[in-house]
Amino acid sequence: MADLFPGFESHWIDTDAGRIFARSGGDPASEPLLLLHGFPQSHLMWARIAGELATRFHVVAMDLRGYGWSSAPRSKSGQADTKRAMGEDVVRVMQKLGHIRFSIVGHDRGARVGYRLSLDQPGRIEKLALLDILPTMEVWRNIKAGVTPAAHWAFLSQAEPAPEKEIARMGPNAYFEGLMQSWTLWQSLRTFAHGAMSEYRNAWGDSSRIHAFCEDYRAGAQRDLAADEADHAARRTIEAPVCILSGSFFLTAGPRPAVEVWRDTFAPDATGVQINAGHFLAEENAPETLAALLAFL
């Protein structure tokens, strides 16, 4: 896997969740930039753009708790896998690497960690780029209104052990690869680096990881949703500059463009860029994604 991140260092950092794995590259004296992956992937999803970003920033790419090579803490009903708890892992990792304030680029679940941390601890975040998401409360609102198919959100957030057993019955490779393929613009797993796909399969081949994925979505359906609704009711917004990047077809799209939703909720001054890709922007169209990020950052 080192070949996907040439010149990057590897780190194991102790947190309340156990050990978190991260890679870092670039000049440690440069502006710090954290990359947070989505479901059902790991930090490896950033391999096509991390090296170029590291020529300008001190780049940190970490595995969220329950994903990749990071520990999967015991959890029930999403208690240990809230985006607020994952945000605390982020703070511990970045402090250990010498950074108190930093920018975040997050995709999918990692983007949810990024915006939750930006609302909870605004003094830590310089800039925030969110790749292909709507706020959690907006997704659930669209699902309940029948605007967006419930799909994997409703399935994975069911009470334990229903989804875990069903994934085992179907076969983890069949289930997760089927999702990933259907979310790409070209409906193909060729989008993903061979080495990265091998590692994704290794991770979801472990039943404790599948449980962690489900706990992530259970947290999203309950505790993360409640946190969003409380902040929205209090009219809290993200203080840092925000850029919303979305694909040509948007995974959890509602009736309005993503950037409009963010402007009406947590990021009133957000800018937006559409990338010619499906859900996996940094892998499906690395040049456009990189250009948009560099222009924003």
For 217-226, the pLDDT digits (tens) are 999 999 999 9
Q: What is the pLDDT of residue 204?
A: 96
Angle (CA) 210 213 214, round 5°: 90
Say if residue 251's pLDDT is above 80. Answer: no
Q: What is the pLDDT of residue 85?
A: 97
Average pLDDT for 149-157: 91
Average pLDDT for 8-30: 96
- Are 213 and 204 spatial neighbours (Cβ–Cβ below 8 Å)? yes
- Are 217 and 139 spatial neighbours (Cβ–Cβ below 8 Å)? no
For 172-200, the pLDDT digits (tens) are 999 999 999 999 999 999 999 889 999 99
What six digits make up the tokens of 256? 């309005």
Would you name the residues annotated as active-site residues? Answer: 108, 279
What six digits make up the tokens of 75? 């959890």
Say if residue 150's pLDDT is above 70. Answer: yes
pLDDT class of 250 with cuts at 50, 70, 90:
low
Say if residue 3's pLDDT is above 90. Answer: no
Instruction: Tell me the average pLDDT of the chain.
Output: 95
Average pLDDT for 240-250: 91
Which residue, among 108, 97, 80, has the nearest Cα to 34 in the 3D structure?
97
Which class for 123: exposed (0-12), middle (13-18), buried (19 or more C-beta within 10 A)? exposed
Listed range (1-10, 163-172, 231-240) with the worst mean pLDDT: 1-10
pLDDT class of 148 with cuts at 50, 70, 90:
confident
Say if residue 67's pLDDT is above 80. Answer: yes
Say if residue 2's pLDDT is above 60. Answer: no
Q: What is the pLDDT of residue 256?
A: 84
Q: What are the chain's domains? A: 2-296 (3.40.50.1820)
For 70-80, the pLDDT digits (tens) are 999 999 999 99
Residues contacting 57, CB < 8 A, separation 6+:
26, 30, 31, 32, 33, 103, 297
**d(Cα 291, Cα 40) in Å, to the nearest integer?**
25
Listed range (10-24, 31-45, 144-158) with the worst mean pLDDT: 144-158
- Within a 10 A sphere around the Cβ of 14, how many other Cβ atoms? 12
Question: Strand 271-275 to strand 58-62: parallel, antiparallel, or no bridges (unpaired)?
Answer: unpaired
| Claim: this prediction has a pTM higher than 0.95 | yes
Q: What is the pLDDT of residue 149?
A: 82
pLDDT class of 253 with cuts at 50, 70, 90:
low
Which residue, among 267, 225, 20, 37, has the nearest Cα to 141 in the 3D structure?
225
Say if residue 51's pLDDT is above 90. Answer: yes
Average pLDDT for 21-38: 98
- Scanning the structure block, which residue is given the tokens 């169209």? 285
- Are 158 and 215 spatial neighbours (Cβ–Cβ below 8 Å)? no
Q: What is the pLDDT of residue 146?
A: 87
**d(Cα 268, Cα 266) in Å, to the nearest integer?**
6
Q: Length of the chain in residues, anyone?
A: 297
